[in-house]
Amino acid sequence: MLDGRGRLASRSRREGGTTTIMKTENRISSAVSDLRSEAAERFNDVQSNVTETVERVSRETGKFIRERPWTAVAIVAVVGIAIGLLAKSRD
């Protein structure tokens, strides 16, 4: 069975299938690239937000400790005792 160009019809269909596969591969590759870019952008946003939050909490904690040193010592002591009691109950 020859097509209009003198080639086998089945070969022509295979070449068309290869072109379709290549187009599909290009679409998938483009979609994956877009998703990667979006994920990287979201990661950078989250990283910036976390960094800002940690810096703010650190500043506020330092300010609290400078303004109320004995309160800070009492809080640390209570937390230490609580951790010690929890660790002791596991033994």
pTM of the model: 0.53
- Secondary structure letter of residue 7 according to DSSP: S
Token digits of residue 74: 């009492």
Q: Read off the pLDDT of residues 11-64 as tens digits, 9 standing for 90 and up.
A: 545 556 788 888 888 999 999 999 999 999 999 999 999 999 999 999 999 999
Query: What DSSP string describes 30-79?
Result: HHHHHHHHHHHHHHHHHHHHHHHHHHHHHHHHHHHHHH-HHHHHHHHHHH
d(C-alpha 86, C-alpha 84), whole Å: 5
pLDDT of residue 14: 53
Tokens read off for 78: 């209570």
